[in-house]
Amino acid sequence: MQLRREYDVIIVGGGVTGASTARDCALRGLKTLLIERGDICDGASGRNHGLLHSGARYAVTDREGAEECIIENRILRRIASNCVEQTEGLFISLPEDGLDYQAGFIAKCREAGISAEAMDPAEALRLEPAVNPSIIGAVKVPDAAVDPFRLVDANILDAQRHGADILKFTAVASLIKDNGRVKGVRTAFGADIYASQVVLAAGIWTADIARAAGAQISMMPSKGSLIIFGHRVANMVINRCRKPANADILVPGDVVSVLGTTSDKVPMDTIDDMRATPAEVDLLLREGIQLVPSLERTRIIRAYAGVRPLVVADPAGDGRNVSRGIVLLDHEERDSIPGLITITGGKLTTARLMAEMATDLVCRKLGVSAACMTARLSLPGSEGRKPRFEDPGYAKAAIGRHGGEVSMMDFEKGREVICECESVTRAEIEYAVRHFGVRNVSDLRRHTRVGMGTCQGSFCVRKVAAVLSEILGSDAYPADVLVKEYLDERWKGMTPVLWGETLREAEYMIRTNGNEL
């Protein structure tokens, strides 16, 4: 890729907010560069429970946030249909919760424009048999599940197809300033790239980048840990109908279930190494089985953690008691630093809205009058057109992941299945390398679900690495190195859950692949 020397806008951060902003800017005709220090969706955007909020969770405490969520929920169901599973959701009340909260909850949902239907416990159990049979009340809401990796990929593809450049694996070392104005970025490789506006959309890492330019943003890292179970134990999103607390959301996603989450303030110097702990896993499991008792007997695949970028007036507060609303900062007005904008806070569900707000501000700064189109234009893969195959078996899983994008995959030459758990073919791997600049197996996992199935890569990682090495060039990317990198990374999420069957499986994975971690 040949980068320009100058852009209208540079966006720092390749998570869902940065990707959505790059798409919006490109659709409005701006010369756009997105720069990301790692792989796309490698940070907090890829470390959440994949809940497409209806807004119900925030209806009692944050009406504005609830209203934003239900509006964006409806938009994403329409423009990103291939990324969203319309599961719907239940908020359940257990005997210790009582029904007082439920009554107020329903009223607040309806005030925010969120459909909230009270259900008899017996009816709720017929609708979702997995929930705790001790429930005394239930409320049906329009929650859904969203695949964050597919959503970010689709935004990146659309941004690129409208002229944006994407620069991965390149950290921003500093912002370039001239007479107090931000004029661009200097990369860790020493390259200077200029732009009229720089938008910081790097989540919790935004604070350090802004500080280097002279702007202070008080951010509190809030760690959230989650567990992935090896089976889909429910078909609806299940929430606890009470004040938000630990382990009160279970989200079905593909063939697994995700339980979350915790919320704990952590030091800034730990944000680059977020890992779930055995104590957090114990807490999540103990509380989670109150939602769905069968979790006590369900195989745990792994645990992981992300960090929320909360902007707070009082840094001494905790993650549950601060707003998770959208924060848009015009540093020219706030800090007398022209050329710099920050967009942070919010949620996965509201990323498109955050991008619209940031791009509106960029356009005002540049004197551009183009309107936002992201709420009405479908994302790649969700246009409703899916190719037909004479023998669709080998392409069925890819169609589910990429929708109409499968037309870009050469199944005639690459129909061989490389990852059997997720039915990933050579054609899909080649597509991911070509369109997303994949460099290792962990990157490939985010774009194709390689190694995310039942065996967690135990049986396929060597085969996957061999194919990837062949595509990338075996001299620069030896297969054995790719295997070890993958196992090293996956081991981090397995260590907190190593007991029983999971421990035996982990030992087998290491022995099978001939690596000592």
Question: Is 188 part of a structural domain of the chain?
Answer: yes
Q: Which of 290, 276, 231 is nearest to 497 (CA)?
A: 276
| Cα–Cα distance, 219 to 227 (Å, whole number) | 26
**Do 250 and 299 belong together in one domain?**
yes
| Cα–Cα distance, 194 to 10 (Å, whole number) | 8
Question: Is 379 part of a structural domain of the chain?
Answer: no
Instruction: Output the pLDDT for position 328.
Output: 95
| Cα–Cα distance, 183 to 177 (Å, whole number) | 6
**Do 124 and 230 belong together in one domain?**
yes
| Cα–Cα distance, 306 to 263 (Å, whole number) | 10
pTM exceeds cut of 0.75? yes
- Torsion angle, CA of 407/413/418/420, rounded to 10 degrees? 60
Evaluated on CA atoms 61, 263, 302, 48, the torsion sign reads positive
**Do 116 and 234 belong together in one domain?**
yes
**Do 93 and 228 belong together in one domain?**
yes
Instruction: Output the pLDDT for position 514.
Output: 57
Instruction: Output the pLDDT for position 321.
Output: 43
Q: Which of 449, 451, 450 is nearest to 494 (CA)?
A: 451
| Cα–Cα distance, 173 to 178 (Å, whole number) | 16
**Do 306 and 267 belong together in one domain?**
yes
**Do 402 and 448 belong together in one domain?**
yes
- List for the chain the helix, strand, coil content (%; round to 5): 40, 20, 40
**Do 289 and 263 belong together in one domain?**
yes
Instruction: Output the pLDDT for position 82.
Output: 92
- Torsion angle, CA of 447/459/484/189, rounded to 10 degrees? -10
Residue 126's CATH number: 3.30.9.10
- Residue 230 belongs to domain spanning: 84-145+220-311
- For tokens 């169609």, name the residue: 399
- For tokens 């915790």, name the residue: 262
| Cα–Cα distance, 450 to 148 (Å, whole number) | 15
- For tokens 């990323």, name the residue: 351
Question: Is 377 part of a structural domain of the chain?
Answer: no
Domain count, the chain: 3
**Do 255 and 131 belong together in one domain?**
yes
Instruction: Output the pLDDT for position 503.
Output: 76
**Do 473 and 411 belong together in one domain?**
yes
pLDDT in tens, the chain (517 residues): 678 889 999 999 999 999 999 999 999 999 999 999 999 888 888 889 999 999 999 999 999 999 999 999 999 999 999 999 999 999 999 999 999 999 999 999 999 999 999 999 999 999 999 999 999 999 999 999 999 999 999 999 999 999 999 999 999 999 999 999 999 999 999 999 999 999 999 999 999 999 989 999 988 888 999 999 988 999 999 999 998 888 899 999 888 899 988 988 999 888 888 889 999 999 999 999 999 999 999 989 889 999 988 887 544 444 444 456 899 999 999 999 999 999 999 999 999 999 999 999 999 999 999 999 999 999 999 987 666 665 567 788 888 888 888 888 998 889 899 998 889 999 999 999 999 989 999 999 999 999 887 778 888 899 999 999 999 998 989 999 999 888 888 777 878 887 777 777 777 766 666 544 4
| Cα–Cα distance, 209 to 320 (Å, whole number) | 26
Task: Tally helices (H) and strands (E) across the chain.
Answer: 16, 22
| Cα–Cα distance, 502 to 504 (Å, whole number) | 5
**What HEC string does 241-285 produce?**
CCCCCCCCEEEEECCEEEEECCCEECCHHHCCCCCCCHHHHHHHH
Question: Is 386 part of a structural domain of the chain?
Answer: no
Q: How many residues does the chain have?
A: 517
What is the distance of C-alpha 338 from the center of its chain?
31
Helices (H), 292-425: 331-335, 351-366, 393-402, 411-414
* Through-space distance between the first and last CA atoms of the chain, rounded to whole angstroms: 36
Helices (H), 55-99: 63-79
Question: Is 430 part of a structural domain of the chain?
Answer: yes
| Cα–Cα distance, 209 to 383 (Å, whole number) | 37
**Do 239 and 280 belong together in one domain?**
yes
Question: Is 505 part of a structural domain of the chain?
Answer: yes
**Do 166 and 40 belong together in one domain?**
yes
